[in-house]
Protein backbone atom coordinates (compact mmCIF):
# COMPACT_ATOMS: atom_id res chain seq x y z
CA UNK A 1 0.00 0.00 0.00
CA UNK A 2 1.40 3.38 -0.97
CA UNK A 3 1.17 6.52 1.11
CA UNK A 4 1.16 10.17 0.18
CA UNK A 5 4.23 12.16 1.15
CA UNK A 6 2.55 13.60 4.25
CA UNK A 7 1.51 10.18 5.52
CA UNK A 8 5.00 8.84 4.90
CA UNK A 9 6.47 11.79 6.77
CA UNK A 10 4.13 11.14 9.70
CA UNK A 11 5.15 7.48 9.91
CA UNK A 12 8.81 8.46 10.18
CA UNK A 13 8.11 11.33 12.61
CA UNK A 14 6.10 9.11 14.93
CA UNK A 15 8.65 6.32 14.65
CA UNK A 16 11.33 8.71 15.84
CA UNK A 17 9.22 9.96 18.73
CA UNK A 18 8.63 13.53 17.57
CA UNK A 19 5.34 15.19 18.47
CA UNK A 20 3.62 17.46 15.96
CA UNK A 21 4.38 20.41 18.24
CA UNK A 22 8.09 19.66 18.53
CA UNK A 23 8.45 18.88 14.83
CA UNK A 24 6.69 22.00 13.59
CA UNK A 25 8.37 24.43 16.02
CA UNK A 26 9.91 27.42 14.20
CA UNK A 27 9.28 25.86 10.76
CA UNK A 28 5.52 25.68 10.14
CA UNK A 29 2.44 25.99 12.31
CA UNK A 30 1.19 22.96 14.19
CA UNK A 31 -2.03 22.97 12.16
CA UNK A 32 -0.17 23.32 8.86
CA UNK A 33 1.94 20.23 9.60
CA UNK A 34 -1.12 18.30 10.74
CA UNK A 35 -2.96 19.11 7.51
CA UNK A 36 0.09 18.18 5.44
CA UNK A 37 0.36 14.80 7.13
CA UNK A 38 -3.34 14.14 6.51
CA UNK A 39 -3.00 15.09 2.85
CA UNK A 40 -5.32 18.08 3.26
CA UNK A 41 -2.75 20.71 2.25
CA UNK A 42 0.75 21.19 0.91
CA UNK A 43 3.76 22.90 2.43
CA UNK A 44 6.56 24.76 0.73
CA UNK A 45 9.63 22.88 -0.44
CA UNK A 46 11.76 25.00 1.89
CA UNK A 47 9.64 24.00 4.90
CA UNK A 48 9.64 20.35 3.84
CA UNK A 49 13.43 20.30 3.60
CA UNK A 50 13.74 21.88 7.05
CA UNK A 51 11.38 19.28 8.51
CA UNK A 52 13.28 16.43 6.87
CA UNK A 53 16.55 17.86 8.20
CA UNK A 54 15.07 18.01 11.70
CA UNK A 55 14.35 14.28 11.46
CA UNK A 56 17.94 13.74 10.32
CA UNK A 57 16.87 11.59 7.38
CA UNK A 58 17.21 11.58 3.61
CA UNK A 59 14.27 12.55 1.45
CA UNK A 60 14.65 9.18 -0.26
CA UNK A 61 13.47 7.46 2.93
CA UNK A 62 10.14 9.24 2.70
CA UNK A 63 9.71 8.43 -0.98
CA UNK A 64 10.57 4.79 -0.30
CA UNK A 65 7.57 4.51 2.02
CA UNK A 66 5.32 5.89 -0.70
CA UNK A 67 5.88 2.84 -2.92
> Is 13 inside a domain boundary?
yes
> Is 10 within the bounds of a domain?
yes
Which CATH number belongs to the domain containing residue 26 in this structure?
A: 1.10.260.40
pLDDT tens column, 41-63: 999 999 999 999 999 988 887 87
Q: Are the C-beta atoms of residues 2 and 12 closer than 8 Å to each other? A: no
Q: Show the domain range for 33.
A: 5-61
Total number of domains constituting the chain: 1
Residue 67 lies in a domain: no
Does residue 39 belong to any structural domain of this protein? yes
In a domain, 57, yes or no: yes
**Confidence class of residue 1 from pLDDT cuts 50, 70 and 90?**
very low
pTM of the predicted structure, to 2 decimals: 0.86
Half-sphere exposure of residue 4: CA atoms within 13 angstroms, side-chain side: 9
Amino acid sequence: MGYNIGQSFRLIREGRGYSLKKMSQNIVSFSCLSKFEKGDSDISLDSFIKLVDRLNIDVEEIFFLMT
